[in-house]
Amino acid sequence: MFQQLARLPDDSILGLMARFRADPSPDKVDLGVGVYRDLSGATPILDCVHRAERLMLAAQATKSYVAAAGRAEFNEGAGELVLGTASPVAAQSRVRIVQAPGGCGALRVAAELIRIAAPTATVHVSDPTWGNHIPLLGGSGLKLAKYPYYDAAAHELKFAAMLEHLDRAPAGDVVLLHACCHNPTGADLSLEQWREIAALLERRRLLPLLDLAYQGFGAGLEPDVAGVRLVTMSVPEALIAVSFSKNLGLYRERLGALIAVGAGAQEADAMRSQVLQIARGIYSMPPDHGAAIAAHIFADPVLRDEWILELMSMRRRIEEMRALLSRHLRERTGTRDFDFLETQRGMFSLLGCSSEAVARLRDRHHIYLLGDSRMNLAGILPGNVAYVADAIASLNEPAP
Ligand SMILES: Cc1ncc(COP(=O)(O)O)c(C=O)c1O
């Protein structure tokens, strides 16, 4: 059966990681992989997670199954974080929440749900978008299209073109929106722009699929979901794929949730029942370890406050590195060409250079970015910022 099977090329991010590991240079800098790093360059376990994990293990009496919907207390806490404690949509009993294996699990289950309900719908994703959106959503069999989003050379949103594209999308199509900290551009919609998008979605009868993977990394837990809340209050139906990989640092525990908003309570129940059946057919039940930790943190005011502080310090570190790198680049180039790094949000920005320049940064300076020039600002440290700025500034100079 498998003799004719073609060997696929290595995943580009995993390939980049392997090249970075094999690079013997003491100067090497990893700006490729999308994980948070602290001042020592490590991806730490949060203190609140350590403490909650110990409490959780001490209280755990069984490893028996939980449920296809996951842990109820976690789902409830996740819903409150995203929609707020006074959500009008929740008050109308239109919200159902199912735990999922990471944001990726939630996105894939969402795509399967859409395919069951509307097999001919097209999902419109931003150009550019996170690379994994394509297999996660397209793998369900849904068609994908791109809407204009960002001009990498000018470092600005193409908002008018985005509106124009979405205004022409057929009713019943799906629009994938990054809730905050857009990956890979770091360029987010303003609140006013969210308002316009929400009105357009409602008017054109388009379904929002909101990808929320960085709540707390942009401006804070509440401001980062302002757009999500605006949209969910404006439209009859919505899907939100939530990830706790970054904001709780639980990456490998695979913790996420799918929030389904239905037109009414009955419709929401139907969506939930379909989601559970999809989950049973793919992974049966989500892993509980991360959900039990998160449930402890959500419920305990002391742990929760500690989490909010730790999250703030991660956010501040990224903001500081953004400011530091753009200052170094201002000094080194004598231009304000890199000021955009300071104003963009979250871990990522596109440097906006060619793939040859990305290769030159890697081969000559041992600085690793993704091929589209996406850089992870959490890989910048006070100790490497001058080196990185020098290398970026030298891209415009003739080769020695
Ligand atoms: C835009 C975006 N969505 C979703 C995810 C999902 O992450 P995970 O499945 O690890 O929770 C990520 C992670 O990198 C992401 O960048």
Q: List, run by run, the mean pLDDT of 10-residue segments along the chain (400 residues).
A: 92 88 96 95 97 96 97 98 96 98 98 98 98 96 98 96 98 98 98 98 98 98 98 98 98 98 98 98 98 98 98 98 98 95 98 94 96 96 97 80
Upstream peptide bond of 9 is cis (omega within 30 degrees of 0): no
pLDDT score of 11: 82
pLDDT score of 29: 97
CA of 343 to the centre of ligand 1 (A): 22
pLDDT score of 399: 60
Cβ-defined contacts of 128-132 (< 8 Å, 24+): 128/152, 128/184, 128/185, 128/350, 128/372, 129/176, 129/178, 129/183, 129/184, 130/178, 130/183, 130/184, 130/211, 131/12, 131/13, 132/104
Q: If you take atom 7 of ligand 1, which residue's CA is the nearest one? A: 103
Query: Residues near 45 by Cβ (< 8 Å), separated by ≥ 6?
Result: 249
Q: If you take atom 12 of ligand 1, which residue's CA is the nearest one? A: 213
- H or E element: which one contains 209? strand 207-212
Q: How many CB atoms lie within 10 A of CB 90?
A: 18
Rounded distance between C-alpha atoms, residue 372 and residue 351, angstroms: 9
Q: Which residues are catalytic?
A: 130, 211, 213, 246
Residues with Cβ within 6 A of ligand 1? 34, 102-104, 130, 178, 183, 211, 213, 243, 245, 251, 256
pTM (2 d.p.): 0.97
- b/e per residue 177-213 (b: at least 16 CB within 10 A): bbbbbbbbbbbbbeeeebeebbebbeebebbbbbbbb
- Determine phi and psi for 31, rounding to 5 degrees: -110, 20
Amino acid at site 32: G
The three-class DSSP label of residue 129 is coil
- Distance from chain centroid for Cα 251: 12
Query: Residues near 203 by Cβ (< 8 Å), separated by ≥ 6?
Result: none
Q: Which two tokens stand for residue 176?
A: 């994938």
Beta bridge partners of 96: 260
pLDDT score of 400: 57
Rounded distance between C-alpha atoms, residue 72 and residue 373, angstroms: 41
Contact 230, 60 (CB under 8 A): no
pLDDT score of 15: 87
Closest ligand 1 atom number to CA of residue 243? 11
